[in-house]
Amino acid sequence: MEALDSLLTRLHAALPEARVAVEPNPAVPAQSSLVVDPDQAVAVARWLRDDPQLRLDYCSNVTGVDWLESTVIEKVRVRRVVDGAEQAVEESVERRRPGYLEAVYHLYSMALGHGPLVLRQRTRNRVDDTRVASLTPIWRSAEFQEREVFDLFGVRFAGHPDLRRILMWEEFEDYPMRKDYVEPDDYEYEPTPHDEVLVKARRHYPAEGLS
């Protein structure tokens, strides 16, 4: 498959307004991915599918990733006056990286037999603005998988034809695949509780006098 640099050049020529960044992958496969802004995601996806050199007609995998808010420690070189002389000093700066949710798409081409290209969309935060664009209009295979990401991560796919929970039941309230998900205590009633379950059961069914 074509290298990401030349792909990006052609993408910017075709869609000048699209904001696309490259996210490097430090592991052995070194499969870098494209981070696309949700506002232009559908246009970029359509270009990736229809471009004659790429023809990424097959969206194999759609999944979500939850990135919590974290502090990143960065080494910065600053010029400081040390002992009366100005010097370049290395300092570590703590930076807060806001948390966000990510939808990751793995694209292949069945027509040309190459791939994968990894496409990512990021939400603005994890709490109230968890919207990305649905790519189901481009690749039908995203239909159930985006529903699953919505179900387990709470990413809202704008433009999805039928965005409902798929694995959890409809009345379920939380998003279990998030990193900060806490399982409710009274998840299941056990008639003969013991050990940890007994501790939970005592908390929730005090009237029954469990001993």
Burial (CB count <10 Å: 0-12, 13-18, 19+), residue 153: buried
143: contact with other proteins by CB under 8 A: yes
Between vectors from CA 146 to CA 28 and to CA 166, what angle results, nearest 5°? Answer: 120
102: closest CA among 64, 135, 145? 64
Q: Which is nearer to other proteins, 128 or 171 (CB)?
A: 171
Least separation in angstroms between residue 47's CB and other proteins is 16
Nearer to other proteins, 11 or 163 (CB): 163
Rounded CA-CA distance 37/184 in Å is: 35
Tokens describing residue 103: 């939808």
Q: State the nearest-atom distance from the C-beta of 122 to other proteins, in Å.
A: 14
> If binding is defined by CB under 8 A, does position 40 make contact with other proteins?
no
Q: Tokens at residue 58, please?
A: 């097959």
Query: H or E element: which one contains 8?
Result: helix 4-14
- Name the one range near other proteins by CB under 8 A: 35-43, 51-59, 93-101, 192-200: 51-59
CB nearer to other proteins: pick between 100 and 144: 144
Smallest distance, Å, CB 88 to other proteins?
29
Answer yes or no whether residue 144 interacts with other proteins by CB under 8 A: yes
Which CB sits closer to other proteins, 130 or 139? 139
25 binds other proteins per the rule CB under 8 A = yes
Residue 197: what are its φ and ψ, rounded to 5°? Answer: -65, -35
Contacts to other proteins from residues 77-136, by CB under 8 A: 104, 106, 110, 113, 116, 118
The dihedrals phi and psi of 57, each to the nearest 5 degrees, come to: -90, -5
Q: Which is nearer to other proteins, 42 or 148 (CB)?
A: 148
Q: Which two tokens stand for residue 55?
A: 């023809």
Contact 120, 91 (CB under 8 A): no
Among the listed ranges 2-10, 24-32, 87-95, 126-134, the one in contact with other proteins (CB under 8 A) is 24-32
What is d(CA 52, CA 21) in angstroms, rounded to the nearest whole number? 22
Binding residues for other proteins, rule: CB under 8 A, are 25-31, 57-61, 63, 65, 104, 106, 110, 113, 116, 118, 139-145, 148, 152, 162, 164-170, 176-177
